[in-house]
Structure 1
Amino acid sequence: MSDTGRIVVHMDLDAFFAAVEALEDPALAGKPLIVGGRPEERGVVASASYEARARGVHSAMPTYRALALCPDAVVRPARHGVYGGYSRRVMAILREASLLVEQMSIDEACLELTDQVEDWEAGVEVARQIQRRVRQEVGLSASLGVATNKLVAKVASDHDKPGGLTVVRPGEEAAFLAPLPVRVLWGVGPVTAQKLAALGVETVGDLLRLDPGELPARFGSQGVHLARQAQGLDDRPVVTEHEIKSLSQETTFARDISQPEALKASLLELSQGVAERLHRRELAAGTVAIKLRYADFTTVTRQMALAVPTDDAETIYRAALVLLRRTWRRGQPVRLLGVAGQRLSAPAGQLSLF
């Protein structure tokens, strides 16, 4: 199916963890709020309200640094079990809207409406209904993007946060992306951005002005991929979980991470996300794997077979932590971190790692 024939919606919950905490405790509404570890425990920020973000606080930042920027912020510990419950309610709304829903993380999902609505206007209306239902039935703000493919829909969902709905119609993809920083494209981290800046490339539109052969010559297959993205092209399908032989979650950090505690905090969150997805599908993983991508785009994967298949978050985290310690070159900045459950089967009671 061509891009022009597709209708893809990307939904991203706004400041999800912080929003849930404010929903559970209305006294926190409108206040700078940090969800994460305590500074005395070398904790890191898992999420921050928009009031805290306006003061420079961002996820994966050490909590002590966040409090230096925003001394009056309230700090709350992350409660992943609570967030999982809210996430399930939101995802249930999405699955009522489409048969093709790909949950990317606890607060993010993509759905395809191509064969389920008559035309574009109907697709946009479905997106509006999703946004309205998430607000009215769950109490959370969501930002959505509607486009012809996953890449542009994702970028569109980030375009008007919080609470925005951005529509990029067929034929508008390249023009929409052109003025945006080149880092909005998948695979463009600080190292690649610096190399592109040396070529005079600051925006996506700058990529299109390069000689067609320059990107492949300098960046190889990644350059070919970047050239396609700059045109707003992406033919990846929306993949539902029943089609997947493994369940994984990964995160690309806004800034490369080299602090062990920040990596461990992210690893825990990813492990809990994988466990939640396994539990929801009534599956257990016989193998745990991690993926590390360094700032220079070197990617390393490692896996560990478990004695018994599991859907337990703590067991998955312990295995992932062992793999991280074996794999990570200490002090080396990490751009992307991922956790996966593989060799899926039905759960088998109380499970353990060894």
Structure 2
Amino acid sequence: ASYPARRYGIKSAMPMGQALRLCPDLVIVRPNTRVCVERSKAVMDILLQEAPSVEPASIDEAFADVTILPEPIDKIARDIQRRVNAEVDLPCSLGGGTSRLLANIANAFGKTQQPKDKPPNSIMIVPPGEEKLFLDNLPVGKLWGVGSRTEQALEELGVTTIAELAASSIDMLSKRFGNPGRDMWYHANAIDPSPVLPLPIQKSAGRQMTFQSDTKNEAELKLTLRRLSAEVGRQVRRAGLCGRTVTLTLRWEDYSSFTRQMTLHNPIDRDDQIYAAAVDLFHRYWLRGELVSLI
């Protein structure tokens, strides 16, 4: 939902019918997934260049651990924001703190301080030692894991602010809400030891296809192999990768699997190169007449 639309109470992921009831003159624009993915990758690339550890959280959100960097966190945030604004032509809001929890809430709070008629481009940093001061007066609904139902249940217990939640009994919260209640208490007390977990380095790319019915049609098998090779090619090129080992897996009608691989002299990333190696393996090891359920 665009920021002008949000003034009418329209929210992200809201059903279209409900959104149109709130704003009958709403302009509906189909998303361009390709552009979204490209812009997301461009932003993530900037983060990876500016921070030693980055954990993507969604297509438009990530956590970055900059603890070991010598620069002040506000300067790092300004540098990232400036680059995203200039290089990707997108607004960029950042939150900073001593934990993922604080950074996330600071980011959301910073956005609320921006003009309501355009996308926010904010920076909000919670200094070390001021975590409780920042959290205490916020409503409990700002905490991770506190949705509308949980917020209502807490309100029935007389708990409406994070300070009141922090002062509650952890045993009472655990008994009432289970493990999420314990987590709420820790978060209300600014305790969040969860680390930033960067994505592991991608070492392989693969695609598979399960046939609706087992097939021994060689033309169909090779056409499917060509399509899968093209998908793998796009995947590795998008990631800026190439590889030397091509692996082919076939699953027979009895659900047993057969895997063989070929290691090439030089790295490849083109669809035709991947297909050439894969179909070579296919010709070597597939016996005519054998039914295949997956390739």
Give the drift of 1:189. Answer: 1.7
Give the drift of 1:281. Answer: 7.7
1:124 and 1:57 mapped to 2: Cα distance? Answer: 32
Preserved contact between residue 147 and residue 168 of structure 1 (Cα < 8 Å) = yes
TM-score, normalised by the number of residues in structure 2 = 0.65
Which residue does the alignment assign to 1:167?
125
Which structure: larger Rg? 2
Give the drift of 1:191. Answer: 2.6
Which residue does the alignment assign to 1:102?
55
State the secondary structure of the residue aligned to 2:109: coil
Structure 2 residue corresponding to 1:124, chosen from 59, 74, 84: 74
Which residue does the alignment assign to 1:133?
83
Deviation by residue 1:174-219 (Cα, 9 ceiling, x = unmatched) = 2211111212222212232222111111121110222343222323
Gap change, CA 1:277 and 1:60, over 3 Å in 2: farther
Gap change, CA 1:353 and 1:50, over 3 Å in 2: farther
2:48 and 2:25 mapped to 1: Cα distance? Answer: 40
- 2:18 maps to 1:61: no
Which residue does the alignment assign to 2:287?
none
Gap change, CA 1:65 and 1:148, over 3 Å in 2: same
Gap change, CA 1:130 and 1:205, over 3 Å in 2: same
2:141 and 2:174 mapped to 1: Cα distance? Answer: 18
Which residue does the alignment assign to 1:84?
37
Which residue does the alignment assign to 2:159?
201
1:171 and 1:209 mapped to 2: Cα distance? Answer: 18
- 2:19 maps to 1:74: no
Preserved contact between residue 135 and residue 163 of structure 2 (Cα < 8 Å) = yes
Segments of structure 1 that go 5 or more residues without pairing to the other structure are: 1-47, 246-274, 284-306, 309-346
1:217 and 1:83 mapped to 2: Cα distance? Answer: 43
Give the drift of 1:243. Answer: 6.5
Which residue does the alignment assign to 1:224?
182
2:23 and 2:294 mapped to 1: Cα distance? Answer: 40
- 2:187 maps to 1:187: no
Which residue does the alignment assign to 1:157?
107
Gap change, CA 1:220 and 1:243, over 3 Å in 2: farther
Gap change, CA 1:281 and 1:220, over 3 Å in 2: farther
Preserved contact between residue 84 and residue 276 of structure 1 (Cα < 8 Å) = no
Give the drift of 1:63. Answer: 1.8
Segments of structure 2 that go 5 or more residues without pairing to the other structure are: 112-119, 204-233, 243-256, 259-270, 279-292
2:31 and 2:125 mapped to 1: Cα distance? Answer: 33
Give the drift of 1:110. Answer: 0.7
2:5 and 2:37 mapped to 1: Cα distance? Answer: 23
Give the drift of 1:144. Answer: 0.7
1:53 and 1:353 mapped to 2: Cα distance? Answer: 46
Preserved contact between residue 170 and residue 182 of structure 2 (Cα < 8 Å) = no
Gap change, CA 1:230 and 1:353, over 3 Å in 2: farther
TM-score, normalised by the number of residues in structure 1 = 0.54
- 2:196 maps to 1:238: yes
State the secondary structure of the residue aligned to 1:91: helix
1:167 and 1:201 mapped to 2: Cα distance? Answer: 26
The number of residue pairs the alignment matches comes to 213
Identity %: 40
1:196 and 1:71 mapped to 2: Cα distance? Answer: 35
Deviation by residue 1:12-47 (Cα, 9 ceiling, x = unmatched) = xxxxxxxxxxxxxxxxxxxxxxxxxxxxxxxxxxxx
Q: How does 1:295-334 map to 2 (within 5 A)?
A: none
- What amino acid sits opposite 2:109 in the alignment? H
Gap change, CA 1:61 and 1:115, over 3 Å in 2: same
Give the drift of 1:49. Answer: 1.1
Preserved contact between residue 81 and residue 93 of structure 2 (Cα < 8 Å) = yes
Give the drift of 1:99. Answer: 1.9
Task: Output the aligned Cα RMSD.
Answer: 3.0
2:178 and 2:235 mapped to 1: Cα distance? Answer: 37
2:35 and 2:198 mapped to 1: Cα distance? Answer: 24
Structure (1/2) with the larger strand percentage: 1
Structure 2 residue corresponding to 1:142, chosen from 67, 84, 92: 92
Gap change, CA 1:227 and 1:353, over 3 Å in 2: farther
Tell which deviates more after alignment, 235-244 or 202-211.
235-244
